[in-house]
Amino acid sequence: MAGDVNPFESLQEQIDDAAAYVDVDSGVLERLKHPERVLETNLTVEMDDGSIEVFKAYRSQFNGDRGPYKGGIRYHPNVSRDEVKALSGWMVYKTAAVNVPYGGGKGGIKLDPREYSASELERITRSYATELRPIIGEDKDIPAPDVNTGQREMNWIKDTYETLENTTEPGVITGKALESGGSAGRVEATGRSVMLVAREAFDYLERGMEGASVAVQGYGNAGSVAAKLIDDLGADIVAVSDSSGAIYNENGLDARAVKQHKRETGSVTGYPEATEEFGNDDLLTLDVDLLVPAALENAIDAELAPDVSADVIVEAANGPLTPNADDVLTERDVAVFPDILANAGGVTVSYFEWVQNRQRFYWTEDRVNDELERVVVEAFDELTDVYESYDVPNFRTAMYVVAIRRVLRAAEEAGTWP
């Protein structure tokens, strides 16, 4: 794990790499590489035993040229100002890649949620929502789930916001439970776009999915759903991992049964049908047809990249490859399909949720999945068009070219003010 690679610098390098193929003024480019503003706050919260704890929390609003800021909120001990800035920038280029009318934002609280009770987490979340209140809103900035947050936290934030504003505004946040204004298909959406991109990628590269071997690093919401849906395409999920380690079976693991095992025991390890168990890095270097990194950023660095043996990588996590790892893999002709496309299903169905909230009219799950497929396939085709018509080194740069052009056009049309 490349803990010392700063994800904000990775983001800036990725933007520079793609900007070389786009006609952009250097001042405008500078703006596209920095957030518009970052809220940094210290939440002071009473614990169950009456003591007081202080938590560092952030919200970065990176760019709003294409619409309200949009992006998740993560709870993790590694949350930092630069991580949140990077993640908010990736959201700008993600929403532009799939052409949903949003800018990019991201927030986080530095804590390990496993160390707190549900009532402590509720007070922490409501305190954070109170800090966010002046800067969020369905036309301003719309948070969503990210690492270690889900429907429960989104419902608390919505309730805090609506109570303080004395209104009903379900579109202030997405990823809510169905009864609180959530959308059918939202929970599975990130994993679904990973599956769709894997399917399109294999088709484009003229490789068969049937019987292809697949390794998935990370078995949270994105990884476990991606594994299940890729399994349904006829591929063999030979290895999966979580923070406890990796499990392997060369004949394929039953992705649903592994999920059930994790639900019951808390981890994927100890799954009875696995023939071997090993560490996370060993999973990342397995000789498989498809590798899906679905955990955190910097999973593969320049040191590990020469040992990666997969032919195709589809990024379910945000920023799982460092730029130096990317260079090594490009050199080695490994086809990497980038996060800003592959995991964009989450924000795309967040967009559908927001549209439904504003219309107070709700769609069927089939409609959500059909519209998602249309968006992802269209973006994939734009990526391959640029890949074939520009002399770009890899699919990531091609996708950034598509995205940056869109952000630039919106910025130029808006002009400079005052």
Measured at the alpha carbon of residue 315, what is the angle toward residues 310 and 321, in degrees to the nearest 5? Answer: 80
**Termini Cα distance of the chain:** 45
- Nearest CA to 127 among 61, 68, 72, 53? 53
CB of 10 to ligand GLU, least distance (A): 15
- CB contact at 8 A, 3 and 298: yes
Rank residues 146 and 301 by Cβ distance to ligand GLU and give the closer one: 146
Q: Is 254 helix (H, G, I), strand (E, B) or coil?
A: coil
Among 125, 148, 160, 174, binds ligand GLU (CB under 6 A): 174
Rounded CA separation 303/24 (Å):
33
- Does residue number 61 form part of the binding site for ligand GLU (CB under 6 A)? no
Q: What amino acid occupies position 91?
A: M
Rounded CA separation 181/151 (Å):
11
3-state secondary structure labels for all residues of 120-167: HHHHHHHHHHHHHHHHCECCCEEEEECCCCCHHHHHHHHHHHHHHHCC
- Does residue number 70 form part of the binding site for ligand GLU (CB under 6 A)? yes
CB of 261 to ligand GLU, least distance (A): 26
Rank residues 71 and 171 by Cβ distance to ligand GLU and give the closer one: 71
Rank residues 91 and 246 by Cβ distance to ligand GLU and give the closer one: 91
Rank residues 66 and 261 by Cβ distance to ligand GLU and give the closer one: 66
CB of 349 to ligand GLU, least distance (A): 7
Size of the site for ligand GLU (CB under 6 A): 12
Q: Is 61 helix (H, G, I), strand (E, B) or coil?
A: strand
Among 88, 224, 241, 318, binds ligand GLU (CB under 6 A): 318
Return the bridge partners of 293, or none: 217
Q: 158 catalytic, yes or no?
A: no
Conformational region of residue 136, where left means phi above 0, alpha means psi within -120 to 50, and beta covers everything else = beta
Q: How is residue 51 annotated by DSSP?
A: -
- CB contact at 8 A, 276 and 247: yes
- Nearest CA to 73 among 23, 132, 1? 132
Q: Is 46 helix (H, G, I), strand (E, B) or coil?
A: strand
Among 160, 217, 343, 369, binds ligand GLU (CB under 6 A): 343
Among 120, 131, 146, 153, binds ligand GLU (CB under 6 A): 146
CB of 413 to ligand GLU, least distance (A): 24
Contact range with ligand GLU by CB under 6 A, out of 23-31, 39-47, 305-313, 343-351: 343-351
Rounded CA separation 400/10 (Å):
13
- Does residue number 188 form part of the binding site for ligand GLU (CB under 6 A)? no
Phi, psi for 178 (deg, rounded to 5): -55, -45
CB of 97 to ligand GLU, least distance (A): 11
Rank residues 160 and 221 by Cβ distance to ligand GLU and give the closer one: 221
**How would you classify the pairing of strands 141-145 and 69-75?**
parallel
- Does residue number 144 form part of the binding site for ligand GLU (CB under 6 A)? yes
Q: Which two tokens stand for residue 11?
A: 């983001």
Q: How is residue 77 annotated by DSSP?
A: T
- Does residue number 193 form part of the binding site for ligand GLU (CB under 6 A)? no
Rounded CA separation 274/268 (Å):
10
CA 169 to chain CA centroid, nearest Å: 25
The residue with its CB nearest to ligand GLU is 72
- In the chain, DSSP finds a helix count (H) and a strand count (E) of 14, 12
Rank residues 155 and 174 by Cβ distance to ligand GLU and give the closer one: 174
Q: Which of 70, 106, 259, 262 is catalytic?
A: 106
Contact range with ligand GLU by CB under 6 A, out of 292-300, 345-353, 377-385, 404-412: 345-353
Rank residues 153 and 311 by Cβ distance to ligand GLU and give the closer one: 153
- Does residue number 295 form part of the binding site for ligand GLU (CB under 6 A)? no
Rounded CA separation 155/98 (Å):
26
- Does residue number 72 form part of the binding site for ligand GLU (CB under 6 A)? yes
CB of 61 to ligand GLU, least distance (A): 13
- Does residue number 319 form part of the binding site for ligand GLU (CB under 6 A)? no
Rounded CA separation 76/118 (Å):
16
Contact range with ligand GLU by CB under 6 A, out of 66-74, 194-202, 328-336, 356-364: 66-74
- Does residue number 346 form part of the binding site for ligand GLU (CB under 6 A)? yes
Rank residues 104 and 323 by Cβ distance to ligand GLU and give the closer one: 104
- Does residue number 83 form part of the binding site for ligand GLU (CB under 6 A)? no
CB of 318 to ligand GLU, least distance (A): 5
Instruction: Report CA-CA distances (Å) from 389 to 98, 342, 384, 385.
Output: 19, 21, 8, 6
Catalytic residues: 106
Residues in contact with ligand GLU by CB under 6 A are: 70-72, 94, 144, 146, 174, 318, 343, 346-347, 350
